[in-house]
Amino acid sequence: MMVIPAVDVLDHKVVQLVGGELGSQKIILPDPFRTAMSWVEKGAPYLHLVDLDGAFGKGNNLQIFKKIIKECGVPVEIGGGIRSTKSVDDLISAGAERVIVGTKAIKEPDWLSMIADKHPGKIMAGMDTKNGSLVVNGWQGSYDVSVESMFDTIREMPLGGVLNTNVSVEGQMGGIDADQCRNFISKCPHRVISSGGVTAESDCKTLSRLGAEGAVVGLALYTEKIRPWEWDRPWFS
């Protein structure tokens, strides 16, 4: 299982929010491109880019993300406010390895099916959860579809995976919720990348044991609470 650095961009700066709440920034860095490249220079095998401006309806950061995709030299997945076929097509044409679609995918599963068929293996369904329920619109609202029902909906789609962010523990540096991760990964019909609460190497080992393909890590990397570039198998657990 690989550790994937998160580069979350809000107001055109790299930030780390607590539980997705605006104003809760614990990290603010001025240059998304330089930040992304710094992780690659430390050996990161993959990057996770999130357009928080797009998620919160404040514009987007797609031009700088396209530059990162073009120049970073490692595969990139990107999400945050991607709610149109044109945006997906554009990012895949720009070289994104995978495009994460969340709110629109959950609200419009027929569109998700269409875009997955159009780009097999390139689309990730973003299923963000809080207290076991799906949340949408930049984690600002719940949606009346169960996780299990969504699993049934996506079961036969040619997805590139599912990203599950556990908002309940996101950014709090308190560790993962192993029971929630076990439940989600074991029931999901696609490979899973987990996010939320990854704070120590032990969290990564737990996720690896539970079958996660990757772990998206933010604050714990930025504060160097975990240093996967120093592990016996750098960036892999």
Helix or strand or coil: residue 105?
helix
Inter-residue contact 180 to 166 (CB < 8 Å): yes
- 135 — pLDDT class (breaks 50, 70, 90): confident
Please write the tens of the pLDDT for every residue from 10-54: 999 999 876 666 776 878 999 999 999 999 999 999 999 999 998
Residue 143 has pLDDT above 90, yes or no: no
pLDDT at 197: 92
In the 8-state DSSP scheme, what is residue 24? -
List helix spans (H) across 144-214.
Answer: 147-154, 178-187, 201-210
Q: Is 34 exposed, middle or buried (0-12, 13-18, 19+ CB in 10 A)?
A: exposed
Residue 130 has pLDDT above 70, yes or no: yes
Query: Percentage of the chain surpassing pLDDT 70?
Result: 94
Length of the chain: 237
Element (H, E) at 92: helix 85-93
The first and second tokens of residue 186, run together, are 């074991």
pLDDT at 55: 82
Amino acid identity, position 217 = V
Please write the tens of the pLDDT for every residue from 70-103: 999 999 999 998 989 999 999 999 999 999 999 8
Which residues are marked as active site?
A: 8, 128
- 226 — pLDDT class (breaks 50, 70, 90): very high
Amino acid identity, position 158 = P
Compute the C-alpha angle 220/225/229, nearest 5°.
90
Strand partners, 130: 133
